[in-house]
Structure 1
Amino acid sequence: MRKPRSKSKLKSKSRLVRRQFRVSEEKEIELLNSWIDDQKPESGSNPLSLPSLPSSSTPPLANTTAFPRYSGVTKFSQLPLSRKTKDGLLQSGYVEMTEIQRASLPHALAGRDILGAAKTGSGKTLAFVIPVLEKLFRERYSAEWGVGAIILCPIRELAEQIFEEIKSVGRHHSISAALIIGGKEVDLEKDRVNNMNILVCTPGRLLQHMDETVNFDCSQLQVLVLDEADRMLDMDFKKTLNDIVSQLPKKRQTLLFSATQTKSIQDLARLSLKDPEYISVHEESVTATPTGLRQTALTVPLEQKLDMLWSFIKSHLNSRTLVFLSTRKQTVFVFEAFKKLRPGIPLRCLHGKMKLIKRLGVYKQFCAEQRSVLFCTDVGSRGLDFNKAVQWVVQVDCPDDIKTYIHRVGRTARYNSRGESLLFLLPSEEKMLGKLQSQKIPLREKKISQVNKLRLQPVSGLLAALLVKYPDLQYKAQRALLTYLRSIHKNKDKEIFDVTKLSIGDFSASLGLAITPKIRFLNQKVKANEMSGKSSALEPESSSEDDELEIPEEDHDIGNFKVEEGHNIGNFKGEEMEKSSLLGHDTTDGKEGLADIVMRTRVLKKKKLKINVHQPTGTRVVFDDEGINPLPPLARLADTKNGSDNFLLDKGRKKDYYRKVMEEMKHVDKEDKLIYRERRREKRTKEKMKRKKGKMEEDYGDQDDLAEEEEYWNKKAKIYFGSDSDEEKEENKGKEVKAASMSLAEQEALALKLLGSMQQKN
């Protein structure tokens, strides 16, 4: 029988194993450092230009001094990486390197600053995760050392995606990592953030920890990474990023990666980059987008955008589609409306105002589904990898610039897979097509006339019915319209984005809105154009009677009447002719004087209405019950059934009418009397209850008052009278009376007598 080992022997053996492990790890680190220093590529060189080594080449042994070249290799196993990292890569399924990894990893492992630019879906995440893990491993980082690497991302979903990649590749390392993003409890993070070696975070939450967390120290930072660097260097993150960088040590390695990289000297100086290696593997490529991506641009009128989108979704029910819209309000409205219409495919929505848990849930659900549609803003255009299986990217609204377009379409055709994209362009935005093609983006142009009209399914009528059924959806439609117009209005490229060229009334109707909402910022712009002589937006192109003048930006008050968008103001016919004659306006030249009328009578919401001085005096305007059509002053009293008879002049009809009214009044009086009696009865009952209740309280109150009065006088007797009795009071009273009746001589004699008796006693 084998004897059990003692605890002391087990402890000594475990200490021996740990010592041997540390020694082997130190030897591995020493070998890696020697290999990197001996074979590091020259600064400014392109590793892709070197011939690749044969796949049979093996890493150097510990006792050798001859190291193979690692610049230009194609496999991860041929790089000077630790055994833990290689095992993690192999278990994660990474064997061959992509072009950006082949070009950047040799320089990054040598400790140089990197500016990496590559197409979307080319493996940029792994290109900076591996150098971070290797740097901290070679420096033997542990929890006691604190923060050694910071990876900054513009959005939360991208940060979580990078964090998952670190956990997968670095599963065998003892290095600690943390995900620091908004939407989580900051107090829990404060207790642990100082013990983490790698922080994957968004800028706002990192700056919050720098300002609030006690003893938060980044003085030992080794690596700073900015993913989607061009977005991080934008004006939105400028102040936050400057505050973060000012608290970091200058001696560090900085890695910047994006699909569209910056070369601005000012931006690079802000980050304190030292002789960075600029790596753009696809700069000389024929196309700026993935080669497996087929791209189409479709010219669609503004009022037919949703019809085209609905038809596209209905004809691609077995695909995973990503739909981009300009604003959050648009995204919410289209998602809510299409969801109620039930197209036959799961619909999801993703935007920046959603809470973290919900955003991550939507992201994971979309990744797990085989067929689905995700409506999103540009928050989903940066860095997100939807399990490499997005078949279609549809851009309903034109992107602001070429960078935005590249990042949007980059959600499909990732890692050498295939994908398709569709871009909707307005006729006024067709110049964007030329700009995209000039930047090596192969776009096929297609007109709406080339679309199969049999498969086109209009949705405007369905949306109008939905807005009637769901009033809250109507408000969302109004906000979607306003935010879209505002995004066009604020865009700096007025050559492409011109809000005055949009048919706003038709677009409003396509959303299901019966009346176009007021758009104040457009009204101010039109007013400014009028002041500068540029009033062409308000004036019709021709003076024919069939033309209609639409002023969609705001309702206008003309006298006592409200003119709304979509009404024919230029043609004063029928009821409108009658309104104009009541106001005293000349209808023969309605279009020529229309601009003056509108300008003179335009009224803002917060401005009080003014009396129209042009209205003739003594004119009385009476509206019908709905407040729409004006009637002559005595038209209310006319018989609507027989207009030839005058009700006021027919005495027989008047008597019948008065008799009916009197009978109705008598019947009503009876009901009123019954109601009045019932109310009086209830009132009396309540008063009786109050009196009864008050009497009971009064009886109890009298007893309490007597007890309080007796106690009061007892207290006063003790305080002011001491122990004097009534008899003593009477005696004292008698003495006072006697003393008052004695003369002065008698009183003096009595006093002398009393003094003498007192002396005798003494």
Structure 2
Amino acid sequence: MAVKETNRSKKTSRAIRKTKRLSEVEEIALLEAWIESQKPINGTNPLSFPHLPRDAAIGRLGDGEFSPYAGCKWFDQLPLSGKTKDGLKPKYLEMSDIQRASLPHSLCGRDVLGAAKTGSGKTLAFIIPVIEKLYRLRWSNYDGVGSIIVSPTKELAAQLFQELQTVGKYHTLSAGLLIGGRKDVETEKERVNSMNILICTPGRLLQHMDETPNFDCSQLQMLVLDEADRILDAGFKKELDAIISQLPKKRQTLLFSATQTKSVKDLARLSLKDPEYISVHAESETATPEHLNQIAMEVPLEQKLDMLWSFIKSHLHSKLLVFLSSCKQVKFVYEAFRKLRPGIPLLCLHGRMRQDVRMAIYAQFCEKRACLFSTDVASRGLDFPAVDWVIQVDCPEDIAAYIHRVGRTARFSSKGKSILFYSPSEKEMITKLQNAEPKIPIHLRKANIQKMQPISGLLASLLVKYPNLQALAQRAFITYLKSIQKQRDKEVFDVSKLPFEEFAVSLGLPMTPVIRFLKLKKGQTLTAPATTTSTTKEKNVPVVARNDVLADDSESAEEEDSGDEILRQKVAAKADGEADPPAGLPSRVLKKKKLKINVHRPIGTRFVFDEEGNSLPPLAALAGANGADDGFHFDKDEVEGRFKKLKEEMKKHDKEDKLLLKRRLREKRAEKKMKLKRLQGEEEEEEDEEEEQSRGRRNKRQKLYLDSDDDDDGQTNPQMDGSDFASKMSVDAQVDLALQLLNKMNS
């Protein structure tokens, strides 16, 4: 009976599988017919079609014709498989604008260039066509790689992989995530050939193409570039060209980004065929999300950390995302603020971190309310839930970078706020943002210096306490200047206009680090003209949180919360007769580098202090007071004469020093020669001794000892050399001696 039941169950399972295959074949045939009969016209935007009623979602209308899905609003009104629709429910029911506009074209197999605002649902616009195309082709593990999705960052690739798992969980397609920073490359090489969908970064994909045996993409059906403008730029040019050269030209290509490229040269690299350019927000009044409140505030470079600290202290119950230029800046600000304890959890994210650490931080920031310090690695595509504020401490490199940064908040239909700190030398960026097309509604505010909490004194004490933090502050200083120098837009970014000394003091550094990479012209100094600074004296006291850090002097201030007011600028008047403070501390010279005297240095610019600590005019120590109240007076000819005399003495001392150096070098060389001669002589003496010893051993072996029996006393004769003994005997005596020896031997 048991055998019969087993056979019956096998037959039942085979029948179910057969029915399932038949149902899939019928569904695929229906979808193919639906798509073929209802193709949208080339060059049209389906958003222009009117919406269908909700009860038309069954796929057919009353007259028996297929529904014109080009004007659909719901996912179940599109020619999608039942498994995909089940994966979309219940999270995704209604389509966004970019999905309504692009899906009809991409489901037909056309190349698409999609451009839409950040947070508008571009991910589903290319994940759904990828799944549907491989499903209709009945793709399996034996068919190899059918689709490749390329992402510029590891975090974005991981986010796309999670979205693919959600939508395609009812399909039998296999997918793999290929990103750098992992140690299991050998495991990837074993499994990558059996994957149907690959989500990867350009570098990792190219590594598998070069190193993995039998890696085959000749059957590729679809290529997707997410954040296409970032992948097509110079940073990934070599990798992308190498990848495209190994892919078949007959394929479908989808490109999506918030700032899409229209360059014919870039599109020709991808071998696109009559692509459909779809920009759902091209006619929109703004290039950024509608529910985003954007603020820009002029903050001098040396006060940016003070403003950032004050902003964080006044928004302890908000979720903050802070953008900085370089990895070292992110690490320094994170470590310093973490030791100061602002009262909110702090996280940092940059490209120099290990992959597992980056993914863990990304997950933490998605789950809890915190402040994340990051580089532009988190500016593209990442969907951080419920970000309240995006703070740009450093100015973005261009308008596209600004749009991507602020797009981390106000995603979909939620609200958000962003604030940009720009220095006086970066005012041109604000002009470009205001004149951008489509417009970027950014509001200018003024900072209230009185409400700001200076922390440079606290940072200085931290650097003394933690030497490692001081080295990190120096690297942050240098990397920021390098990032400014490497920017292409010189109208906005001019490193020569930055206040080096004040910026170093704001980081807590006791002296300005040496800037080796800057090539200065003859007579040019490193320090730019000092900017107006606040006269607020810094004290090493605990920082107290304040609720009124932000104030607004514009008409929209009434609509803001009291905690989100922007600071008003109030500059304290300088007391009469008060001397200006020193512009900065002298530059430090590293120990490994020789000190070079700058003959073109300005004369008389150093500060002199008296015994009480008061600053005196330059060269005051050399002048004589005339008793008047108007200060010291100098004789210009006397000063110039003194400097000439000092220069002559310096030249004289230089000659003496050179002669002394030559004499010392000559003595060193002579001493080395004598030492070599002594060593050679000792070696020769040792060789002679060895030869004599070996010669003595050879002579000793040739000695002959003879005994005599003719002594009357019966004593033996003393031993002597055979040659001496033979020379003292006559011929007859020698013959007799030989005969005696022979007789003894015979007896």
TM range (shorter): 0.7 to 0.9
Confirm whether residue 398 of structure 1 aligns to residue 398 of structure 2. Answer: no
Confirm whether residue 410 of structure 1 aligns to residue 400 of structure 2. Answer: no
Confirm whether residue 301 of structure 1 aligns to residue 296 of structure 2. Answer: no
* Partner residue of 2:419 out of 417, 422, 440: 422
Residue type of the alignment partner of 2:378: G
TM-aligned CA distance change 1:431 to 1:172, over 3 Å: same
SS at match of 1:254: strand
Supply the distance in 2 between the matched residues of 1:262 and 1:59 (Cα, whole angstroms). Answer: 38
Map 1:110-509; keep pairs closer than 5 Å: 110-184=108-182, 185-369=184-368, 371-387=369-385, 389-439=386-436, 440-448=439-447, 451=448, 453-454=450-451, 456-509=452-505
Cα RMSD (Å): 3.7
1:548 Cα offset (Å):
6.4
Supply the distance in 1 between the matched residues of 2:649 and 2:377 (Cα, whole angstroms). Answer: 51
Residue type of the alignment partner of 2:199: V
SS at match of 2:89: helix
TM-aligned CA distance change 1:135 to 1:463, over 3 Å: same
* Alignment deviations for residues 317-369 of structure 1 (CA, whole Å, 9 cap, x no partner): 00110000011111100000000000010000000010110000000001110
- Contact in 1 for aligned 2:604/2:619 (Cα 8 Å): no
Confirm whether residue 569 of structure 1 aligns to residue 605 of structure 2. Answer: yes
* Alignment deviations for residues 147-188 of structure 1 (CA, whole Å, 9 cap, x no partner): 000000010000000000000000100011111111221101
1:500 Cα offset (Å):
1.6
1:200 Cα offset (Å):
0.4
Pick the structure with more helix per residue.
Answer: 1
TM-aligned CA distance change 1:562 to 1:473, over 3 Å: farther
Q: Which of the two has higher C-alpha Rg?
A: 1
SS at match of 2:54: coil
1:498 Cα offset (Å):
1.3
SS at match of 1:398: coil
1:570 Cα offset (Å):
4.5
TM-aligned CA distance change 1:618 to 1:206, over 3 Å: closer
Residue type of the alignment partner of 1:226: L
- Contact in 1 for aligned 2:388/2:416 (Cα 8 Å): yes
- Contact in 2 for aligned 1:142/1:175 (Cα 8 Å): yes
Supply the distance in 2 between the matched residues of 1:551 and 1:37 (Cα, whole angstroms). Answer: 75
TM-aligned CA distance change 1:567 to 1:17, over 3 Å: farther
Supply the distance in 2 between the matched residues of 1:62 and 1:179 (Cα, whole angstroms). Answer: 41
Residue type of the alignment partner of 1:177: A
- Contact in 2 for aligned 1:519/1:552 (Cα 8 Å): no
- Contact in 2 for aligned 1:323/1:393 (Cα 8 Å): yes
Per the normalisation by structure 1, the TM-score is 0.72
- Contact in 1 for aligned 2:174/2:196 (Cα 8 Å): yes
| Equivalence for 1:662 | none
* Alignment deviations for residues 18-67 of structure 1 (CA, whole Å, 9 cap, x no partner): 11110110000000000001011011001001101111103336999621
1:11 Cα offset (Å):
1.2
Supply the distance in 2 between the matched residues of 1:348 and 1:9 (Cα, whole angstroms). Answer: 60
1:589 Cα offset (Å):
5.2
| Equivalence for 1:44 | 43
TM-aligned CA distance change 1:4 to 1:580, over 3 Å: farther
Per the normalisation by structure 2, the TM-score is 0.74
1:434 Cα offset (Å):
1.1
TM-aligned CA distance change 1:551 to 1:435, over 3 Å: farther
| Equivalence for 2:651 | 613
- Contact in 1 for aligned 2:501/2:527 (Cα 8 Å): no
1:569 Cα offset (Å):
2.6
Map 1:621-660; keep pairs closer than 5 Å: none
* Alignment deviations for residues 254-293 of structure 1 (CA, whole Å, 9 cap, x no partner): 0000000000011001001100000111111000000000
- Contact in 1 for aligned 2:511/2:588 (Cα 8 Å): no
- Contact in 2 for aligned 1:117/1:279 (Cα 8 Å): yes
- Contact in 2 for aligned 1:44/1:277 (Cα 8 Å): yes
- Contact in 1 for aligned 2:294/2:417 (Cα 8 Å): yes
Supply the distance in 1 between the matched residues of 2:638 and 2:294 (Cα, whole angstroms). Answer: 46
- Contact in 1 for aligned 2:146/2:222 (Cα 8 Å): yes
Supply the distance in 2 between the matched residues of 1:419 and 1:590 (Cα, whole angstroms). Answer: 66
- Contact in 1 for aligned 2:288/2:440 (Cα 8 Å): yes
TM-aligned CA distance change 1:469 to 1:27, over 3 Å: same
Residue type of the alignment partner of 2:299: V
TM-aligned CA distance change 1:338 to 1:473, over 3 Å: same
1:492 Cα offset (Å):
2.0
- Contact in 2 for aligned 1:367/1:386 (Cα 8 Å): yes
TM-aligned CA distance change 1:60 to 1:535, over 3 Å: closer
Residue type of the alignment partner of 2:260: Q
Supply the distance in 2 between the matched residues of 1:457 and 1:484 (Cα, whole angstroms). Answer: 23
* Alignment deviations for residues 367-419 of structure 1 (CA, whole Å, 9 cap, x no partner): 110x20000000000100012x1010000000000010000000000011100
Supply the distance in 1 between the matched residues of 2:63 and 2:640 (Cα, whole angstroms). Answer: 96
Report percent identity of matched pairs: 57
Supply the distance in 2 between the matched residues of 1:453 and 1:573 (Cα, whole angstroms). Answer: 30
SS at match of 2:105: helix
Q: Structure 1: which 5+ runs fail to align?
A: 602-609, 620-736, 743-762
1:508 Cα offset (Å):
0.8
TM-aligned CA distance change 1:128 to 1:470, over 3 Å: same
TM-aligned CA distance change 1:78 to 1:566, over 3 Å: farther
SS at match of 1:349: strand
SS at match of 1:525: coil
Residue type of the alignment partner of 1:146: G
| More displaced 10-residue stretch of structure 1: 493-502 or 355-364 | 493-502
| Equivalence for 2:93 | 95
1:453 Cα offset (Å):
2.9
TM-aligned CA distance change 1:616 to 1:157, over 3 Å: closer
- Contact in 1 for aligned 2:139/2:173 (Cα 8 Å): yes
- Contact in 1 for aligned 2:244/2:270 (Cα 8 Å): yes
Aligned residues: 595
| Equivalence for 1:517 | 513
Supply the distance in 2 between the matched residues of 1:137 and 1:540 (Cα, whole angstroms). Answer: 66
Supply the distance in 1 between the matched residues of 2:286 and 2:144 (Cα, whole angstroms). Answer: 44
TM-aligned CA distance change 1:181 to 1:616, over 3 Å: closer
Supply the distance in 1 between the matched residues of 2:497 and 2:462 (Cα, whole angstroms). Answer: 28
- Contact in 1 for aligned 2:512/2:585 (Cα 8 Å): no
Supply the distance in 1 between the matched residues of 2:289 and 2:603 (Cα, whole angstroms). Answer: 49
Residue type of the alignment partner of 1:130: I
| Equivalence for 2:537 | none
* Alignment deviations for residues 557-595 of structure 1 (CA, whole Å, 9 cap, x no partner): 9999999x99983456769859989xxxx985599989x
Supply the distance in 2 between the matched residues of 1:303 and 1:183 (Cα, whole angstroms). Answer: 36
Residue type of the alignment partner of 1:477: A
Runs of 4+ more than 4 Å apart:
2-5, 61-65, 534-541, 545-563, 565-568, 570-581, 586-594, 614-619, 737-742
Supply the distance in 1 between the matched residues of 2:404 and 2:639 (Cα, whole angstroms). Answer: 50
Supply the distance in 2 between the matched residues of 1:351 and 1:611 (Cα, whole angstroms). Answer: 55
